Structure 1
Amino acid sequence: MEEEITSGEITRTPAKFAGNFSVLLQLKPPHFSRDYEVMIVFSEGMNELNLKYQLKVTYVKTLEKARIFRLERLSPVYINEDLPDVLLDQLALETAQVFYPLLLEVDFDGKFLSVHNHQEIVGRWPELKEKVKEYFVGPVTERYLDLMEKGILDQDTVSERFKNDLFIRTYFAAIYKSYGVDYRLEEQVFFPMNEEPDPPSFLCRQEVDPYLNVDGDLEIHHHGNLELADFEGDYKADYVLDAGTRSIERIHACWNLKKEQLKSTDIMVFRTDPKAPVQEEAAENQHLSSLVYLDGEVKQKRGILGSLFRR
């Protein structure tokens, strides 16, 4: 059994784990709801692009084989602190509203599985489409809306788009599992980056700190190296979890890829709402951008969001 350790004047408390040194998410609806600010920085050579938005994540319920979470947009997407000013970026921002509120199915390890409320999204589309057409006109708009509609009507396409969303891939990651007696394990992890046809694979060492940090939170650290012949690269991530519920307080993840020149992607997620009282966070049973751009083959100037989020 771990004991408190003291370093200088700081005493660290041992973390509590389930069987086989497992980290398990322990939530009870409707008390779990978190507001987050998300910042994503794309760097390539001397060029840098910053995206920022806010959203709310709410735990809804547990099904037989998955949990349901609801995502709600609290702000538009800002590009380098400004709203989009390119037509396709503006269309992407406006039409993305059709997805929210967004319900996701997530497995008990914390990994995204699929979009749960596809039919609701399809039902919202006609009204939003007409509203968009009141403000945007022309052949580019018509072509964009047609392609968007085709993507929305196909459930697999919608789930695949969100599977490749950087926030969802990072926040809904498989971090709730057994880390073993050494508090660490190695696994292959994949991330959708840089419009590569196949997502880069990282051999990732995942470690959970057996002691709570100075704020009384649990930390999980990822260190990965790229497993792809044509690239050099690495991945690092720090997850900070509430010690009681194991819900995410903040994340900082960074990917570096180098082929002809270095490309870096940083994502920072942190809570903007105050912590809820512990007594409201009763444990569950022990059963344990985001913007989406469905642009197809539009051949006009894409703008920043279009080039980043198309596949």
Structure 2
Amino acid sequence: MNAGKPIDKHSAQQALRLKWIPDQSVSYGVCITFENEGSKNEVKYEVKVSRLKPGSNNEPLFQIERTSEVFVNEAIPELVADRLAYEAGKVFYPLVISVDNNGGFETVYNHDEILKRWPKIKSKLLSNFDGVMTDYYIANMEKLLAIPLNVTNILGKNDWLINTFFKPIYKVYQKDKFEKMVFPILNNSNVDNYLIAEKFEKNSNSFGAIEVHHEGSIEMENADNFNQYFGDYQGKYFLHPKYKYIISLISDFSISCYATSKVHLRVFMIPEDGRDFDYDFLSTYDENNTITSGAVILDGPPQKSFWERLLNI
């Protein structure tokens, strides 16, 4: 792809399909930067995302494992409230989620496993923390974990990786059609959506990846009558040319009312040991599988403190 070349819009019959093989895993580095009223906080961690075999109702499943500590501003959280939230949050991982046929997040699938992990996590919390804050936080966590829908909602509304990585990008792309998407930056406002134009480049770029671009702004008709919100979103997805899984994701968000808040998210594939970043981008694959017509399906069988604000628990 030539630098600065406009992205072509495609016909209503062109689509993108995910061909991620079950039991195949990809490791990623995640960096999220939060800017708000002059303050800046950076969160970094590593995850392994695995495509699993379909669930009991043939729903596509993915597992997310955190493979490193979570660092805030290059350090492990030290404040008691931050550390408490961080240690309690470990109960969710490994996390198994279901997605729809377009790749969009639907539900937390392994709620029973999360519940079984909680007693051990709770015991560690009680051993390492004490006081009213600990009791309060444990009570809130137990209330949250008791209902599967609560777990799905809290992660679906507040987890930045889930809200960007698992968006419905595997689908038919129609010319001049806009999509409505919600991201965590809007949780504390009365704004419902960003209105987004989606485009993808038919031909792979200079290093062999397929590009999907998002560009949008806050949908003004849903703004609070008393607080006029403005905001923009730009996202770039770089997909593996054969399997179509994400190899890199760059997203930038803003929302302004009395002040401006920004979030910058970067996700990059971590190559396997001893391999180059683009080691399999030149693999032989059927060009006709890049753009297809007809139904779009995933392959397989049919189908406070900073940390408290971040997790919103």
TM-score of the superposed pair, with normalisation by structure 1: 0.83
The residue number in structure 1 matching 2:166 is 172
The offset of 1:193, in angstroms, is 1.4
- Residues 1-311 of structure 1: pairs in structure 2 closer than 5 A: 20-30=13-23, 32-63=24-55, 64=57, 66-164=59-157, 165-180=159-174, 182=175, 185-198=177-190, 200-228=192-220, 229=223, 230-274=228-272, 277=280, 278=283, 284-285=299-300, 302-310=304-312
Contact 2:163 2:183 in 1 (8 A): yes
Q: Distance in 2 between matches of 1:284 and 1:90?
A: 40
- Using a 3 Å threshold, how does the CA distance of structure 1 residues 251 and 41 change in structure 2: closer, same or farther? same
Alignment partner of 1:193: what SS? helix
For 2:172, give the aligned amino acid: S
For 1:202, give the aligned amino acid: Y
**Structure 2, unaligned stretches of length 5 or more?**
290-297
The offset of 1:286, in angstroms, is 8.2
Q: Distance in 1 between matches of 2:11 and 2:162?
A: 26
Alignment partner of 2:169: what SS? coil
Deviations 1:229-269 (A, max 9, x none): 32111110000000111100010001111111221111111
Q: Distance in 2 between matches of 1:279 and 1:191?
A: 36
- Using a 3 Å threshold, how does the CA distance of structure 1 residues 27 and 19 change in structure 2: closer, same or farther? farther
Q: Distance in 2 between matches of 1:237 and 1:256?
A: 12
Contact 2:186 2:192 in 1 (8 A): no
Deviations 1:92-132 (A, max 9, x none): 11111111111101111010000001011111111211122
- Using a 3 Å threshold, how does the CA distance of structure 1 residues 143 and 133 change in structure 2: closer, same or farther? same
The residue number in structure 2 matching 1:293 is none
Alignment partner of 1:110: what SS? coil
Deviations 1:66-93 (A, max 9, x none): 2110111111211110111111110111
Q: Which range moves more in the overlay, 230-239 or 188-197? A: 188-197
Contact 1:25 1:245 in 2 (8 A): yes
Q: How many residues align?
A: 283
The offset of 1:134, in angstroms, is 1.1
Alignment partner of 2:81: what SS? helix
**Structure 1, unaligned stretches of length 5 or more?**
289-301
For 2:115, give the aligned amino acid: V
- Using a 3 Å threshold, how does the CA distance of structure 1 residues 199 and 97 change in structure 2: closer, same or farther? farther
User: Matched residues, percent identical?
Assistant: 28
TM-score of the superposed pair, with normalisation by structure 2: 0.83
Contact 2:191 2:218 in 1 (8 A): no
The offset of 1:197, in angstroms, is 4.9
Contact 2:103 2:169 in 1 (8 A): yes
